[in-house]
Copies of this chain bind each other. A is one copy, B any other.
Amino acid sequence: MKPLAPIHPAPLPDYTAVDFLDVDSLLTPEEKALRARVRAWVDARLMPIITECHFAGRFPGELVPEMAELGLLGPTIPAVYGGPGRSGVAYGIIMQELERCDSGVRSFASVQSSLVMYPIWAFGSEAQKQHWLPQLAQGTAIGCFGLTEPEYGSNPAGMIVRATETADGWLLHGTKKWLSNGPSATIAIVWAKTGDRDDAHSIRGFIVPTNLPGVTVHRLDDKHSLRVSESSAMTFDQVKLPKDALLPESGGLKSPLMCLTQARFGIVWGSLGAAMACFDEALQYAKQREMFGKPIAQTQLQQSRLADMVTKITNGQLLALQLGRLKDLGTMTPGQVSLAKRYNVDMACDVAREARRLLGANGILGGWHSMRHMANLESVYTYEGTHDMHTLIIGQELTGLPAYR
């Protein structure tokens, strides 16, 4: 049979970010300008290649320099360390716009910013900051974050990776899993117990160059989700580290959890971007797609879908912004971050699924974005604290009673 030209879906208008309750009126001109800059870059550079990257399972590393130039890496890091020194809300806006394209791209920026640059900035020595932060901000160095272990996901306190102090430094041994950016990382921020197996207080952070002898990176391929992001496991076989590999100010499980709070904040905004992308695609499609002689947008069932989506998105927008304002006021609590991460990711999962369904058969094709988001968001639902773990974090904050076990 001879081939023929594929039937392409009707092209949709450019992306329009939904703002049903005029949440824009609560943003500053600078915040809106930043958002416009990032959105334009995403439209020009990321959107055209994202589907191909997704199917190929490839991270578009070639765009890292541009991301650095736009100040998307470590946005909140002060200028003295080569960062743009932006606000929490500005950081959130960047994550929203990146994930509007793909959760994997946003994950790259989240890890670099919140899980690598943040701990160096918060727990590092002046020398460490001076040395690493500028390179990371410029993207000449890429970082990854090693906390989770194969048997210790929701319960990192149980970690078994150990760092033993030696005469001239440290000996790092064990295996970490689910390190995003691992394969291209120059350094890994690795969390290990310096004391007994059951002593979570002895957890400290280390800056580990990935080219050290004994460090092995294992790619995790064949993923249904976040195919654009490089997931990996990393084994450390008696890796010798110098004394100054230690993040001096880190101490106890509290330190990595502080990093996760930063990353979760970014996810609150990022998942919102994904949901907005799906809603826009669904709305434009519904207006164009005719069935039974009228646009499906004119049927009650599809309008019901769209009304539910826009309501959830509006909630997510107000949650994210209020959380960001609290962050910039310095009053944001981990429980508040949990509430917003749990709601926004869950609502984004639902919005993506309903958008996929509104798109009908076309919705399963890579040319449309909603189903890719739907698949990506399943990882987001689970990582940085699963939906259920956040349920119990909120529950403990409300009741004062832990119910984890």
Q: A interface vs B, CB < 8 Å?
A: 20-23, 25-26, 283, 286-287, 295, 297-300, 302-304, 306-307, 310-311, 314-315, 318-319, 322-323, 326, 329, 331, 335-336, 339-340, 342-343, 390-392, 394-396, 398-403
A20 to B322 alpha-carbon distance, docked (Å): 11
- Nearest CB in chain B: distance from A357 CB, A: 16
Interface contact A286-B391, CB-CB below 8 Å:
no
Residues of B contacting A335 in the complex (Cβ-Cβ under 8 angstroms): 20
A402 to B298 alpha-carbon distance, docked (Å): 6
| This chain: copies in complex | 2
Interface contact B343-A21, CB-CB below 8 Å:
no
Residues of B contacting A403 in the complex (Cβ-Cβ under 8 angstroms): 298-300, 303
Q: Contact check: which of B25, B297, B329, B400 meets A399 at CB < 8 Å?
A: B297
Q: Which residue of B lies closest to A331 (CB)?
A: B22
Interface contact B283-A398, CB-CB below 8 Å:
yes
Interface contact A342-B299, CB-CB below 8 Å:
no
Q: Shortest 9 CB-CB distances between A and B: which pairs?
A: A303-B395, A318-B318, A297-B399, A315-B315, A298-B401, A307-B394, A307-B391, A300-B403, A311-B343
A-B contact pairs, 24 of them (CB 8 A): A21-B322, A22-B322, A22-B336, A26-B322, A286-B399, A295-B399, A297-B395, A297-B398, A297-B401, A298-B399, A300-B392, A300-B403, A303-B395, A303-B399, A304-B391, A306-B394, A306-B399, A307-B342, A307-B395, A311-B339, A311-B343, A311-B394, A314-B319, A318-B322
A26 to B326 alpha-carbon distance, docked (Å): 11
Q: Contact check: which of B302, B342, B400 meets A311 at CB < 8 Å?
A: B342
Residues of B contacting A390 in the complex (Cβ-Cβ under 8 angstroms): 307
- Nearest CB in chain B: distance from A309 CB, A: 9
Q: Contact check: which of B25, B299, B304, B326 meets A21 at CB < 8 Å?
A: B326
Interface contact B21-A336, CB-CB below 8 Å:
yes
- Nearest CB in chain B: distance from A301 CB, A: 9
Residues of B contacting A304 in the complex (Cβ-Cβ under 8 angstroms): 391, 395
Residues of B contacting A392 in the complex (Cβ-Cβ under 8 angstroms): 300, 303
Interface contact A326-B399, CB-CB below 8 Å:
no
A326 to B26 alpha-carbon distance, docked (Å): 11
Centre residue among A304, A307, A343 by max chain B CB count within 10 A = A307
A377 to B302 alpha-carbon distance, docked (Å): 26
A26 to B321 alpha-carbon distance, docked (Å): 12
Known: A306-B399, A311-B339. 6 other contacts (CB 8 A): A295-B401, A303-B394, A306-B394, A315-B315, A315-B319, A318-B322
Residues of B contacting A299 in the complex (Cβ-Cβ under 8 angstroms): 403
- Nearest CB in chain B: distance from A275 CB, A: 14
Q: Which residue of B lies closest to A335 (CB)?
A: B20
A176 to B403 alpha-carbon distance, docked (Å): 54
